[in-house]
Structures are given as structure tokens and as C-alpha cells.
């Protein structure tokens, strides 16, 4: 199983420079990837940074990390622009880019700008958008979400991002992850990313999720979990592999 930092794009990390510092620490400390959230957090309080601008800055300052979003609400974006952004970041880092995509679960990020939050509308926009992205950009697409439609959608793409944490901690057990992986029904070459919270000594915990089918562990880091110095300390301690 590979390990990535998955960092909020708002609050402290509305400044892309802070995200770059975390990504540089991640690369130096043995992490395999760096992912960012994709929220318009200013709609509900904190300032926020564009994830693709942030990832481009990270790509310019790192050499080995896989970069991506976890996840982009494609129904509130123009898919042709997302494809261009992903391709541009991929050109900077040798093609190691993942587009994590989903319906978008925060109503304010739609209705504040006059967009309908109807789930059927968002599903249509997501599927249409994914098809266009694939026509324009050949990189990996991972689908986020735990619902039955999300799992069916994930089976048609390159990976699945489990919605497995809340502010309080892990919300998905290894058994539930294994059941979802079985439901998806894909074999080798299909990625399963588990969002999680771990300490450096939690290697056994991560291996439980690996045994359940996870191929990536995304260590979720944000202001509500720990302050900026705590984020850097956790990243510098490295992945939970022991």
C-alpha cells in the first residue's frame, strides 16, 4: 500500500505556499503522494485556495510525488477546464496525476451561486463531465463516495476513494471497506484509496485496510485535526508503516 498526505485547501492552507511546505516535507519523509481537498470554503467561512494552482506549485517544487484531488466536485466545474488543469500539472511532474471526482456534497457551494443541488442533476453532470475529461486527458480518474451509485460509477473508472473519516476519526471499518471493494468487483490495476487518521506507529492499522483491498492510504490533515506545526510534525514522522 502506498501512502499520501491529503491536505485541506482552506483555512491555513488557503495559502498555497503552506501546502508546498507540507508537500516538500512529505517527499523528504518517504510519502508517495500529495492530495488536496477541493472546496469553495469561503462560502461557509474560511478562505480557500484553488487545488490545481496549489498542485502546480507543488509539482514545481517536488520530483517524486503522485499528485491529485480528493475529491473535485465535477458538477460545479467546467470539465474541459479541469482536463486542461490536470494535463498542465501532469506536464510538470511526469504524468503522476490523479483526478478524484465526485458529486459534491456541500449544498452551499452550489446554491450560493444559483446552481441547483438536485442529486439527479449532479449525477448527470458528473457522468457527462467524466466522459469529456476522458476524451481530453488520459490520466487516472478515481471516484469518491460510498453510495451504491458511487460504487457502480467507480467500477467504470480507475479507482475509488472511500469516504472513511469525519472530524472525529475513522468512520469505515476494514470489513466495510472489503465489502465495498467486493461490490465494485474490479481486479488488479484498480486503486482503492482509504482516507484515514494514523499515528506513525499505526502500521498495523493501515495493514488491516490494505488486507481489505486498499492500495493507498490518504492521511487527512486539516486545521480541525491539528495546527500547522502539528501537521508538519505528523508529515515529517513519515507514513505509518511500523
Residue 68, in any domain of the structure: yes
C-alpha 65/C-alpha 3 separation (Å) is: 10
Give the model's pLDDT for residue 163.
92
Give the model's pLDDT for residue 122.
98
pLDDT < 50 regions, the chain: none
Alpha carbon separation from 132 to 101, 124, 125 (Å, rounded):
13, 12, 10
> Using one digit for the tens of pLDDT, what is the confidence trace for 164-182?
998 878 999 999 999 999 9
Q: Euclidean distance between the first and final Cα of the chain, in Å?
A: 13
Give the model's pLDDT for residue 32.
98
Residue 241, in any domain of the structure: no
Whether omega before 71 lies within 30 degrees of 0, making that bond cis, reads yes
Give the model's pLDDT for residue 145.
96
Give me the number of domains the chain comprises: 1
Give the model's pLDDT for residue 191.
98
Residue 156, in any domain of the structure: yes
C-alpha 197/C-alpha 180 separation (Å) is: 20
* Non-local CB neighbours of 30 within 8 Å, separated by 6+ positions: 3, 238, 239
Give the model's pLDDT for residue 166.
87
Give the model's pLDDT for residue 35.
98
Give the model's pLDDT for residue 196.
95
CATH, residue 26: 3.20.20.30
Give the model's pLDDT for residue 10.
97
Residue 242, in any domain of the structure: no
* Non-local CB neighbours of 70 within 8 Å, separated by 6+ positions: 6, 35, 36, 37, 38, 100, 142, 144, 161, 193, 195, 218
Range of the domain at 221: 2-236
C-alpha 157/C-alpha 191 separation (Å) is: 10
Amino acid at each position: 500500500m502506498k501512502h499520501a498526505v491529503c491536505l485541506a485547501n482552506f483555512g491555513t492552507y488557503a495559502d498555497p505556499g503552506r501546502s508546498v511546505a507540507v508537500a516538500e516535507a512529505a517527499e523528504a519523509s518517504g510519502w508517495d503522494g500529495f492530495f488536496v481537498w477541493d472546496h469553495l470554503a469561503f462560502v461557509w467561512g474560511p478562505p480557500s485556495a484553488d487545488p490545481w494552482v496549489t498542485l502546480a506549485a507543488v509539482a514545481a517544487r517536488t520530483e517524486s510525488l503522485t499528485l491529485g484531488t480528493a475529491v473535485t466536485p465535477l458538477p460545479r466545474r467546467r470539465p474541459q477546464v479541469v482536463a486542461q488543469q490536470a494535463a498542465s500539472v501532469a506536464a510538470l511532474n511526469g504524468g503522476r496525476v490523479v483526478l478524484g471526482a465526485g458529486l459534491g456534497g456541500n449544498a452551499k457551494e452550489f446554491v450560493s451561486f444559483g446552481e441547483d443541488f438536485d442529486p439527479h442533476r449532479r449525477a448527470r453532470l458528473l457522468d457527462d463531465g467524466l466522459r469529456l475529461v476522458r476524451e481530453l486527458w488520459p490520466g487516472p480518474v478515481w471516484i469518491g463516495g460510498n453510495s451504491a451509485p458511487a460504487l457502480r460509477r467507480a467500477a467504470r473508472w480507475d479507482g475509488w476513494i472511500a469516504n472513511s473519516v469525519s472530524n472525529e476519526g475513522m468512520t469505515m471499518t476494514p470489513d466495510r471497506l472489503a465489502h465495498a471493494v467486493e461490490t465494485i468487483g474490479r481486479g488488479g490495476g484498480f486503486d482503492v484509496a482509504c482516507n484515514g487518521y494514523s499515528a506513525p506507529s499505526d502500521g498495523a492499522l493501515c495493514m488491516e485496510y490494505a488486507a481489505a483491498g486498499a492500495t493507498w492510504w490518504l492521511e487527512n490533515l486539516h486545521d480541525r485535526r491539528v495546527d500547522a506545526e502539528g501537521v508538519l510534525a505528523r508529515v515529517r514522522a513519515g507514513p505509518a508503516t511500523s
